Amino acid sequence: MVRPLTGILILCAALLTASMPAPLHAQSDTIVLRTAASAAAVPVLRTDSGSYLPIRSLSAFLGADHYENRALRKLEVKFPRSTVKFTAGNAFVVVSSASSKRNKVYQLTLPVLFTAGAYYASADELPGLFRLTGDSTLSVAEAGSTAPAVPAAAPVVTGLSVEEKKNGTLFRIALTAPVRDFNRSLQVGDWVYVTLPGAQCDTVAFDTTFASGIIRRVKPVQSETSLQLSLQVRGKVAQSEIVQDPLSNDILLTLIPPEPEPPKTAAVDSAALLRKQNEKARQDVVRSIAKQKQKWKLDVVVIDPGHGGHDPGAIGIIGTREKDITLGIALKLGEMIRKELPDVKVVFTRKTDRFVELYRRGQIANENEGKLFISIHCNSTERKPSSANGFEIYLLRPGKTEDAIRIAEKENDVVKLEKDYEDRYQELTEENFIILTMAQSAYVKQSERFAEMLEETMSAQMEGMRQPVKQAGFYVLVGASMPNVLLESGYLSNVKDEKFLRSPAGQQKIATAILNALKGYKNEYEDENR
What's the rounded Cα separation, in Å, for the pair 425 and 431?
Answer: 14
Question: What pLDDT was estimated at residue 328?
Answer: 96
Residue 517 reports pLDDT greater than 50: yes
Strands (E), 20-73: 27-34, 39-46, 51-54, 65-69
DSSP 319-357: --BHHHHHHHHHHHHHHHHHHH-TTSEEEES-SSS----
Q: Are 391 and 496 in contact (CB under 8 A)?
A: no
Checking if the pLDDT of 24 tops 70, the result is no
Each residue's pLDDT tens digit, 459-477: 888 764 666 676 655 665 6
Mean pLDDT of 183-195: 89
- Nearest CA-CA partner of 424 in 342, 338, 498, 363: 363
- Output the pLDDT for position 216: 92
> How long, in residues, is the chain?
530
Q: Is the pLDDT of residue 77 over 70?
A: yes
CA–CA gap between residue 95 and residue 272 (Å, rounded): 64
pLDDT of residue 442: 62
Residues 510, 462: Cα–Cα separation, whole Å: 8
pLDDT number for residue 294 = 57
Whether the pLDDT of residue 400 is over 70: the answer is: no
Mean pLDDT across the chain:
77
pLDDT at residue 445 tops 60:
yes
89-110 pLDDT, tens digit per residue, is 888 888 888 877 777 877 788 8
pLDDT, residue 357, reads 82
**Residue closest to 515 by CA, chosen among 507, 448, 115:** 507
pLDDT interval class at 211 (50, 70, 90): confident
Predicted pLDDT at 468: 67
pLDDT-based confidence at residue 5 (cuts at 50, 70, 90): very low
The CA distances from residue 463 to 8, 387, 390, 408, 494, in Å, are 44, 17, 10, 26, 17
State residue 325's pLDDT score: 96
Portion of the chain with pLDDT greater than 70, in percent: 73
Q: Are 365 and 482 in contact (CB under 8 A)?
A: yes
Average pLDDT on 444-455 reads: 87
Higher pLDDT, 459 or 428: 459
Highest mean pLDDT among 123-137, 144-158, 190-204, 508-522: 508-522
- The pLDDT tens digits for 230-283 are 999 998 988 888 988 877 788 999 999 887 766 655 445 677 777 777 777 777
* Total H helices, total E strands in the chain: 12, 26
- pLDDT of 349: 92
Structural domains of the chain in order of their starting residue, each with its CATH number: 27-141 (3.30.457.10), 157-256 (2.60.40.3470), 300-528 (3.40.630.40)
CA dihedral 431, 435, 440, 442 (to 10 degrees): 110
Q: How confident is the model at residue 168 (pLDDT cuts 50, 70, 90)?
A: confident
More confident residue, 121 or 48: 121
pLDDT tens by residue, 327-375 = 999 999 999 999 999 999 999 999 999 988 877 887 888 889 888 999 9
- Give the pLDDT of residue 253: 92
Per-residue confidence (pLDDT) for residue 424, from 0 to 100: 46
Residue range 126-162, pLDDT digits in tens: 888 877 766 556 666 553 343 343 345 578 888 899 9
**Sign of the CA dihedral running 299, 300, 305, 306:** negative
Q: What percent of the chain has pLDDT over 90?
A: 25
Looking at residues 173-185, what average pLDDT do you find?
87
Query: Is pLDDT of 218 > 90?
Result: yes
pLDDT tier at 491, thresholds 50, 70, 90: very high
pTM for this predicted structure: 0.45
Confidence of residue 418 (pLDDT cuts 50, 70, 90): low
Residue 360 has φ and ψ, to the nearest 5°, of: -70, -30
Give 276's DSSP letter. H
For residue 83, list its beta bridge partners.
Answer: 78, 96
Q: Which residue has the higher pLDDT, 482 or 437?
A: 482
Q: How confident is the model at residue 398 (pLDDT cuts 50, 70, 90)?
A: low
Q: Which three-class secondary structure state does DSSP give residue 410?
A: helix
